[in-house]
Amino acid sequence: MDKDFLWWRDGVIYQIYPRSFKDGNNDGIGDLAGITQKLDYLVDLGIDAIWLSPIYLSPDFDFGYDVADYQRIDPKFGTMDDFENLLQNAHSRGIRLIMDLVLNHTSNQHLWFQQSSSSKDNPYRDWYIWRDKSKSGGVPNNWQSRFGGSGWEWDEKTQQYYFHLFFKEQPDLNWNNPKVHSAILEMIEFWLQKGVDGFRLDVFNAYFKSQRFENNPVKLGLAGFDRYQHLYDINQPEMLSFLSKLRILLNSYPESYSAGETFETSTQMVASYISENSLHATFDFSFMKNRFKADGFYKSIQNWESLLQDKKWPNYVLNNHDVPRSATRYIRGEKDDRLKILAAMLLTLRGTPFVYYGEEIGMRDIPVTRKSDVKDPVGKHYWPFYKGRDGCRSPMQWEETQYGGFSDVEPWMPVHENFVFRNVKSQLENPDSLLNTYRKLIEIRKNTIALQKGMYLPLTFEPKRLLAYMRKTSDHEVVVALNFSNRRVGFVVSFSILNQNWSLLYSNKRDQKPKIIDRKITLEPNEILLLEHRL
Ligand code: GLC
Ligand code: CA
C-alpha cells in the first residue's frame, strides 16, 4: 500500500443525491440515516469519500440548491445528530465527507433575505444585489437568469430590483460586501470543526458581479442566456481574493479539500482556478458533452492534461445530478459494454475519479413523459423543449423487491422499472456485472501507484475506436487500451512494449496476456486491456 496516500488525490469520490440514495425512515425520501446504513456498501465498492448534495434546511424550490439555513439539517434528511452519526461512521470506515456549498445565492426564505427585503435601510439590505430601475423605467441592465428571462426581479414593497442568476426564489448574495465573506467563512468553519473533510462549491465563479453593472455584450445568432458574452456577471477578478481567504481557512484543517463547479466557462478558465492560493480542484465537464467515440475523449483528456500539467491535479466526471446519465446518453437498451469501457477510462486516468450514485450499476434515466409529473423547476419552466433533470435523480436500485429496496413506501420520484433486474444485489452476484467491473477496477487502482499518481502518456490511437495510454512512475508502467467499438481493433504497439516483459493486469475479455503479431495486439470488441511492467 501507498504510504503517501492523500484521499482526495489518490482516492475515488462518490456523489450522493441524498433524496434518492436510501430512505431510512420510510417516508419516501432518502435521508442521512439511510446513507449511514449503506456505508458498508460504499466500503465494499472501494470509494474513499462521499460528496453529499445539499442537506441543509431548504424549501426545495431547487431541491436543496436553495438554502434557507446553512447551519441546519433539513428535517426531511434527519437531525444534526444523524449528520454527526453519519460523519463518525464514515470516518471510522476510512471514508471522508464533502459537503455541497451553495453560496452564489440563498433561498428567498433565508433569514438574511427576509431581512434584506424587509426595508431599504435594514442592516442586511446590502447582503443581496439591489438596484433601482433604469432611467427608462425598466430593469437595471441586460443580465439574464440561467433558468430563463431577465435576472432582475421587481420588489413592490421596497421599490427596487434584486438580482438572481437562477430562479427568483434564489436571490444572489452580494459578494462585494465583506460582511457576506465573514458570515460565510464562519459558517464553513462551523462544518470544518465538526470534522467535515471538504466542500464542493456550487457555481463559485458566479459569486462576484461587476460593481458597475455594465450591460453584457450581445452575441449574434443565439438565444436566452447564451446570447450574451458574460463579461460582467461571472468570472470577476475579485473572486481570487475570496478564494485565497477560503484556502487559508482550509489549510488550517489538514487534508481538507475544495472542488469548484465552474459555471459557463472555458476549460482554460476552469483550469486557472486551481492553485495553491485558490481551489484544490475544479470540474471540467467536457466528458459529458462527448459522443461515444475514442477521439472525443482523447481530445478532452489532452486538453485538460495540457492545461493542468504536473502542477495541478485533474479530476474526471461522467455523471452528476444535472445531466442525463451516461447510460442514457450512450446506450439504447440494457447492454453495459460501453459503460465498462467508460468505467475503465475514468478509473485509470491521472486524476480523481468522481462516481455519481447508481453509475456503478448502470442506472438509466427514468422517462419523464408528463408535465404534471415533473419535479425539477427547470423542467416545468421549459416543458416540453427541455424536460428537466428528474431523469438522473431517481431512487437507487438496491434489490428486486418493491421500490427497488430504496423505501417501503412510494418514493418521491419513481424508481426506474428496470430495477427488477438492474440492482445492486443481482449485480453483486454476477462476476461480469458492471458493478463488479467498478469494484475490480477500483481495487486495481488502489493497489497500483502508477494508476493513482503516474504520468499520463498518450499512445498510438486509432481515431474513433481505440483509446490507449500509459500511466508511468519511475519503476512501474501500465498500458491501458480501450476498444470503444463493437468490432475487433488492432492496437499497434511500440518497441518498448514489444521488447519487454509485460504481464496482464486486467482484461474483461481474456485471462492470458495477448499475443503480439506484426507489432499488433488485436483487441476484442469493447475490450478493456491493462498491461503492466515493472522497471
Ligand atoms: C448548480 C447545481 C444545480 C443547481 C444550480 C443552482 O449548477 O449543480 O443543480 O440547480 O447550481 O444552484
Ligand atoms: Ca426518509
Ligand 2 center–CA 403 separation, angstroms: 14
How far from 78 is each of 37, 56, 120, CA to CA, in Å? 13, 10, 36
**Cell numbers for 305:** 492534461
CB 263 within 8 A of CB 249: no
Which pLDDT score is estimated for 74? Answer: 98
Q: Is the CB of 124 under 6 A from ligand 1?
A: no
Minimum-distance ligand to the CA of 170?
1
Residues 210 and 311 in one domain: yes
Range of the domain at 500: 454-534
Element (H, E) at 10: helix 7-10
Q: Which CATH number is 135's domain given?
A: 3.90.400.10
Which pLDDT score is estimated for 499? Answer: 79
Q: Is the CB of 357 under 6 A from ligand 1?
A: no
Look at ligand 1, atom 4, and give the residue with the nearest C-alpha.
65
Ligand 1 center–CA 75 separation, angstroms: 21
CB 239 within 8 A of CB 208: yes
Domain ends where: 443, 468, 488? 443
Would residue 64 count as lying in a domain?
yes
The predicted-structure confidence for 102-113, as pLDDT tens digits, reads as follows 999 999 999 999
Q: Is the CB of 339 under 6 A from ligand 1?
A: no
Mean pLDDT of 510-521: 94
Where do the H-state alpha helices sit in 313-370? Answer: 326-330, 337-348
The predicted-structure confidence for 249-268, as pLDDT tens digits, reads as follows 999 999 999 999 999 899 99
pLDDT band at 404 (very low <50, low <70, confident <90, very high): very high
Minimum-distance ligand to the CA of 169?
1
Which pLDDT score is estimated for 494? Answer: 82
Look at ligand 1, atom 12, and give the residue with the nearest C-alpha.
65
Would residue 413 count as lying in a domain?
yes
Residues 196 and 82 in one domain: yes
| Residue 121 confidence (pLDDT) above 60 | yes
Element (H, E) at 470: strand 466-473
d(CA 440, CA 482): 16
State the total domains in the chain. 3
Nearest to 392 by CA among 287, 320, 330: 320
CB 233 within 8 A of CB 216: yes
Residues 133 and 202 in one domain: no
Q: Is the CB of 66 under 6 A from ligand 1?
A: no
Ligand 2 center–CA 25 separation, angstroms: 5
Would residue 173 count as lying in a domain?
no
Residues 345 and 368 in one domain: yes
How far from 255 is each of 43, 96, 195, 353, CA to CA, in Å? 20, 10, 11, 18
Report the percentage of the chain scoring pLDDT > 70.
99
Which pLDDT score is estimated for 2? Answer: 65
Mean pLDDT of 295-319: 96
Residues 389 and 520 in one domain: no
Q: What is 143-208 written as a DSSP string? A: -B-TTSSBSEEEETTTTEEEE-SS-TTSPBB-TTSHHHHHHHHHHHHHHHHHT--EEEETTGGGS-
Residues 23 and 66 in one domain: yes
Q: What is 396-432 written as a DSSP string? A: P---SSGGGGS-SS--SSPPPGGGGTSSHHHHHH-TT
Which pLDDT score is estimated for 323? Answer: 98
N residues, the chain? 535
Look at ligand 1, atom 2, and give the residue with the nearest C-alpha.
202
Q: Is the CB of 203 under 6 A from ligand 1?
A: yes
Q: Which atom of ligand 1 is nearest to the CA of 378?
A: 10
Q: Which CATH number is 460's domain given?
A: 2.60.40.1180
The predicted-structure confidence for 160-211, as pLDDT tens digits, reads as follows 999 999 999 999 999 999 999 999 999 999 999 999 999 999 999 999 999 9
The predicted-structure confidence for 468-485, as pLDDT tens digits, reads as follows 999 999 999 999 999 999
Ligand 1 center–CA 202 separation, angstroms: 6
Ligand 2 center–CA 78 separation, angstroms: 8
Would residue 170 count as lying in a domain?
no
d(CA 318, CA 378): 21
Would residue 448 count as lying in a domain?
no
Ligand 1 center–CA 205 separation, angstroms: 13
Map residue 479 onto helix, strand or coil: strand
CB 45 within 8 A of CB 396: no
Residues 461 and 399 in one domain: no
Which pLDDT score is estimated for 235? Answer: 96
Residues 399 and 438 in one domain: yes
Report the percentage of the chain scoring pLDDT > 90.
95
Q: Is the CB of 60 under 6 A from ligand 1?
A: no
Domain ends where: 163, 188, 203? 163
Where do the H-state alpha helices sit in 235-293? Answer: 239-251, 267-272, 286-289
Q: Which CATH number is 412's domain given?
A: 3.20.20.80
Element (H, E) at 16: strand 13-16
Residues 304 and 323 in one domain: yes
Handedness of CA 129, 132, 137, 141 (dihedral sign): negative
Would residue 411 count as lying in a domain?
yes
d(CA 474, CA 15): 33
Which pLDDT score is estimated for 389? Answer: 98
Residues 433 and 485 in one domain: no
d(CA 432, CA 440): 10
Q: What is the mean pLDDT of the chain?
A: 96
Domain ends where: 443, 464, 495? 443
As annotated, the active-site residues are 202, 261
Minimum-distance ligand to the CA of 17?
1
Q: Is the CB of 102 under 6 A from ligand 1?
A: yes
Residues 341 and 410 in one domain: yes
| Residue 465 confidence (pLDDT) above 60 | yes
| Residue 1 confidence (pLDDT) above 60 | no
Q: Which atom of ligand 1 is nearest to the CA of 166?
A: 6
Q: Is the CB of 264 under 6 A from ligand 1?
A: no
Contacts of 454 (CB under 8 A, 6+ apart): 350, 471, 472, 473, 476, 477, 478
pTM: 0.98
d(CA 338, CA 326): 9
Which pLDDT score is estimated for 467? Answer: 97
Minimum-distance ligand to the CA of 75?
2
Would residue 172 count as lying in a domain?
no
